[in-house]
């Protein structure tokens, strides 16, 4: 590690602009010790440490297969298309592969079936089909990202992707040429497999449900897993260790049955009749669920629901049983076993969601207001989520791999790892905090305006707009304004739209990627965003010189999962606010502020409009957890900070 990272070493002699980073070397040595000593490690490595190389090199040297899991596809692509080729230029060819979820890949069998029996709706789908068919003849990966001009929301791609529920497995006539088969073959031949958290935990969830099936899942066996952006693990794991069922799943099942019937004229119409009954009963069931809410709500009244609508629930279960039996009788149709398994899975999930008793599970509903009406029912999701995933994580992750490494720029709270370790069940692990390579006291100024009202008071929005206007005029725009709610974001956007002379961009008016490209290309732009812009966004240079946060990002206490977790902590005699809400908000705030300083040349101002940071005793936890920014309550210091930028005078 020293020969690679130290002054005069391999990295110093490479094509990269080199500056020795002691923290990078320390992290690389710690990762190597963890992998060779078969123990777990948790590392907070500040932005600018160069942590990707600090874990990639030890991973390559371990002699074992290593899975590297990232929180975002952007980082996944950076590792595979930038960092790995750079290491190959220094070390020679490496055996590394890159895997995404199955929905990203084309299913050749579906494509050929649709070509032979075209069932397309409209000129747009026909045009997309020809584009995909032409691309299929030359692609080596089958990854949809290669298709230029295919909309993200393409309904045709949903009919052609390689999702598990429609997969024929080894009985598929195109098995040997399957992109998923080829991807898995490459993974088995690779020393490092690069995935994202969603794929890793989806795979872990499949293996959990099929413990007796050695080939279950898609990822190969590995001795080591390294999680980058590990602050996201609890939320992702909760999703994949839980159960979710929506009316959309029933509609898609009925659609696929109809497609199979039209393509295979030998199938008895009784299958279609059974499928139509399932669709009708599902619409009745989802229509009977509580409708007097928007967003998310606890589904605590399952017993009362069954007392009132038990006949509708049993009718749906019976319809699923009948469809399963009808599909059992189908012979000579490749798709029938996969459809039968889908029906069985749906039936099992529905039974769990309506009848299971689990102290560690919260049952809840979600309605998406913007979703289309299906059969007169708005898109509704019935969910079951573990309240505490630490036990499952300890068993399935930390006891199943000889070494697990967690790293992120935001894992500590007030300098310690206690919160993240407790939430994830990481009992036995070495710890390391690597300070950032950046000069935060010189590069960043944290401005805390005085006399702000509490965010819960009526006058907060008006005063926030006044403070934002003044700061954005000083910075000449070039800002991210980050909010904890859509309503607050839209309110402040409307208040400032006619007051500011700079271009204002609003989340929701265009896809996230397009908004970021427009922000980078537009001088003095100001972008208004919520949760999706708090992390995983990288804008370097003068384009982003200011980050404004409206309030401390506490999780909404009425959210069903948050409420259940807080209640469990309180019932155990502990403080949910200080043990759960404050640490979670600290990590989120660190992520949001982390958008500002992304390189040694970046500089700018951060503003937090929430006065609770200064007035409440828990504010000290936030301040002790943030990087060592220079802090001021004086707007004159902000003006001087940017005056120095314009004149080029040295900064104090």
Q: Is 270 helix (H, G, I), strand (E, B) or coil?
A: helix
Residue-wise pLDDT tens digits, 288-311: 998 888 889 999 889 999 999 999
Q: 425, 404, 294, 292: which is closest to 360 by C-alpha? A: 425
Residues 272 and 127 placed together within one structural domain of the fold: no
Specify if 535 maps to a domain.
yes
571 exposed, middle or buried (CB, 10 Å; 0-12, 13-18, 19+)?
A: exposed
Estimate the crossing angle of helix 84-91 against helix 51-61, to 10 degrees: 50
Specify if 171 maps to a domain.
no
Query: Quick check: 578 pLDDT over 90?
Result: yes
* Angle made by CA atoms 492, 493, 497, in degrees to the nearest 5: 120
Residue-wise pLDDT tens digits, 581-602: 999 999 999 999 999 999 888 9
Specify if 167 maps to a domain.
no
Residues 111 and 194 placed together within one structural domain of the fold: no
Q: For every residue of 370-411, which 3-state class applies, written as one string?
A: CCCEECCEECEEEEEEECCCHHHHHHHHHCCCCEEEEEECCC
Q: What's the CA gap between 151 and 125, in Å, rounded?
A: 11
Specify if 119 maps to a domain.
yes
The overall average pLDDT reported for the chain is 90
Q: For every residue of 270-315, which 3-state class applies, written as one string?
A: HHHHHHHHHHHHHHHHHHHCCCCCCEEEECCCHHHHHHHHHHHHHH
- Any idea which of 3-12, 115-124, 619-628 has the lowest mean pLDDT? 115-124
Residue-number span of the structural domain to which 481 is assigned: 440-647
Specify if 169 maps to a domain.
no
Residue-wise pLDDT tens digits, 442-473: 999 999 998 899 999 999 999 999 999 999 99
Residues 400 and 457 placed together within one structural domain of the fold: no
For residue 163, the number of C-alpha atoms closer than 13 Å in the C-beta half-sphere is 13
Q: 546, 540, 541, 528: which is closest to 478 by C-alpha? A: 546
Q: For every residue of 599-632, which 3-state class applies, written as one string?
A: CCCCCEEEEECCCHHHHCCCHHHHHHHCCCCEEE
Specify if 172 maps to a domain.
no
Specify if 557 maps to a domain.
yes
Torsion angle in degrees (nearest 10) through CA of 204, 206, 211, 215: -100
Phi-psi category of residue 169: left, alpha or beta, with phi > 0 → left and psi -120 to 50 → alpha: left
Residue-wise pLDDT tens digits, 472-495: 999 999 999 999 999 999 999 999
Residues 495 and 399 placed together within one structural domain of the fold: no
Q: 419, 453, 449: which is closest to 578 by C-alpha? A: 419
pLDDT at 322: 96
CB 259 within 8 Å of CB 119: yes
Residues 260 and 190 placed together within one structural domain of the fold: no
Per the structure, the count of domains in the chain is 4
Residues 333 and 285 placed together within one structural domain of the fold: yes
Q: What is the CATH number of the domain that holds 638?
A: 3.40.50.300
- Residues 265-290 have a mean pLDDT of 88
Phi-psi category of residue 78: left, alpha or beta, with phi > 0 → left and psi -120 to 50 → alpha: alpha
Q: What's the CA gap between 164 and 173, in Å, rounded?
A: 16
CB 580 within 8 Å of CB 622: no
Residue-wise pLDDT tens digits, 504-521: 999 989 888 889 999 999
* Angle made by CA atoms 275, 281, 287, in degrees to the nearest 5: 135
Query: Would you mind telling me the total number of residues written for the chain in this entry?
Result: 652
Q: What's the CA gap between 150 and 128, in Å, rounded?
A: 7
pLDDT at 51: 94
pLDDT at 264: 66
Final residue of a domain: which of 434, 467, 497? 434
For residue 319, report the phi and psi dihedrals to the nearest 5 degrees.
Answer: -65, -40
Residues 539 and 499 placed together within one structural domain of the fold: yes
Residues 188 and 140 placed together within one structural domain of the fold: no
Specify if 166 maps to a domain.
no
- Any idea which of 72-76, 380-384, 548-552 has the lowest mean pLDDT? 72-76
In the chain, DSSP finds a helix count (H) and a strand count (E) of 27, 20
Residues 217 and 116 placed together within one structural domain of the fold: no
Report the largest interatomic distance among the alpha carbons of the chain, rounded to a whole angstrom. Answer: 82
Q: 641, 535, 516, 647: which is closest to 596 by C-alpha? A: 535
Q: Which residue has the higher pLDDT, 580 or 123?
A: 580
Residues 444 and 544 placed together within one structural domain of the fold: yes
Residue-wise pLDDT tens digits, 614-651: 999 999 999 999 999 999 999 999 999 998 766 554 44
DSSP state of 579: I
Give the burial string for 600-633 (b: 16+ CB within 10 Å, else e).
eebbbbbbbbbbbbbeeeebebbeebbbebbbbe
Residue-wise pLDDT tens digits, 171-229: 788 888 999 999 999 999 999 999 999 999 998 888 777 654 445 578 999 999 999 99
Residues 236 and 263 placed together within one structural domain of the fold: no
Whole-model pTM above 0.95?
no
Residues 295 and 355 placed together within one structural domain of the fold: yes
Query: Quick check: 353 pLDDT over 60?
Result: yes
CB 444 within 8 Å of CB 604: yes
CB 605 within 8 Å of CB 471: yes
CB 248 within 8 Å of CB 379: yes
Model confidence band, residue 537 (pLDDT cutoffs 50, 70, 90): confident
Q: What's the CA gap between 349 and 442, in Å, rounded?
A: 55
């Amino acid at each position: 590690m020293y020969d690679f990272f130290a002054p005069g070493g391999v990295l110093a002699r490479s094509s990269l602009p080199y500056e020795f980073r002691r923290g990078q070397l320390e992290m690389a040595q710690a990762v190597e010790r963890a992998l060779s000593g078969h123990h777990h490690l948790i590392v907070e490595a500040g932005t600018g440490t160069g942590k990707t190389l600090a874990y990639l090199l030890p991973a390559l040297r371990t002699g074992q297969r290593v899975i590297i899991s990232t929180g975002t596809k952007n980082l996944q692509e950076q590792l595979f298309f930038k960092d790995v080729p750079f290491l190959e230029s220094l070390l020679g060819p490496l055996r590394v592969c890159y895997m995404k979820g199955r929905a990203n890949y084309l299913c050749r069998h579906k494509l050929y079936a649709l070509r032979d029996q075209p069932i397309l709706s409209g000129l747009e789908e026909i045009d997309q089909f020809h584009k995909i068919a032409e691309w299929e003849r030359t692609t080596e990966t089958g990854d949809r990202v290669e298709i230029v001009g295919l909309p993200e929301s393409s309904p045709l791609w949903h009919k052609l992707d390689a999702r598990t529920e429609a997969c024929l497995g080894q009985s598929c006539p195109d098995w040997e040429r399957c992109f998923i088969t080829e991807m898995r073959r490459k993974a088995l031949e690779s020393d490092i497999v690069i995935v994202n958290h969603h794929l890793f935990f989806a795979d872990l969830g499949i293996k959990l449900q099929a413990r007796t099936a050695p080939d279950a899942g898609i990822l190969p066996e590995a001795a080591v897993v390294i999680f980058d952006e590990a602050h996201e693990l609890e939320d992702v794991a909760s999703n994949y260790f839980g159960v979710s069922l929506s009316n959309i799943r029933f509609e898609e099942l009925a659609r696929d049955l109809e497609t199979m019937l039209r393509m295979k004229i030998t199938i008895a119409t009784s299958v279609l009749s059974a499928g139509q009954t399932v669709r009708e009963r599902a619409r009745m069931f989802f229509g009977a669920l509580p409708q007097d809410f928007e967003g998310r709500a606890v589904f605590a009244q399952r017993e009362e629901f069954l007392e009132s609508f038990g006949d509708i629930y049993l009718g749906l279960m019976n319809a699923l049983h009948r469809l399963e039996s009808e599909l059992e009788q189908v012979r000579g149709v490749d798709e029938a076993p996969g459809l039968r398994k889908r029906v069985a899975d749906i039936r099992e999930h529905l039974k769990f969601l309506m009848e299971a008793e689990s102290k560690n599970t919260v049952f809840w509903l979600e309605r998406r207001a913007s979703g289309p009406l299906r059969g007169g029912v708005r898109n509704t999701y019935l969910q079951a989520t573990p309240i505490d995933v630490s036990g499952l994580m300890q068993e399935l992750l930390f006891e199943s791999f000889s070494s697990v490494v967690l790293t992120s720029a935001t894992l500590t709270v007030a300098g310690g790892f206690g919160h993240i370790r407790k939430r994830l069940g990481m009992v036995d692990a070495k710890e390391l905090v690597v300070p950032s390579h950046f000069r935060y006291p010189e590069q960043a100024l944290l401005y805390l305006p005085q006399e702000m009202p509490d965010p819960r008071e009526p006058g907060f929005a008006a005063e926030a707009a006044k403070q934002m206007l003044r700061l954005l005029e000083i910075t000449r725009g070039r800002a991210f304004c980050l909010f904890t709610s859509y309503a607050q974001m839209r309110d402040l956007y409307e208040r400032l739209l006619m007051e500011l002379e700079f271009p204002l961009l609003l989340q929701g008016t265009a896809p996230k990627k397009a908004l970021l490209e427009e922000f980078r290309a537009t001088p003095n732009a100001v972008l208004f965003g919520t949760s999706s812009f708090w992390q995983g966004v990288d804008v370097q240079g003068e384009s982003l010189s200011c980050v404004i946060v409206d309030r401390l990002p506490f999780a909404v206490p009425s959210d069903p999962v948050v409420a259940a977790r807080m209640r469990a902590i309180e019932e155990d005699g502990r403080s949910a606010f200080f043990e759960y809400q404050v640490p979670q908000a600290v990590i989120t705030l660190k992520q949001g502020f982390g958008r500002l300083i992304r390189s040694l040349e970046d500089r700018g101002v951060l503003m937090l409009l929430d006065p609770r940071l200064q007035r409440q005793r828990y504010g000290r936890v936030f301040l002790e957890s943030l990087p060592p920014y220079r802090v001021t309550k004086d707007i004159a210091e902000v003006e001087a900070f940017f005056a120095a930028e314009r004149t080029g005078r040295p900064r104090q």
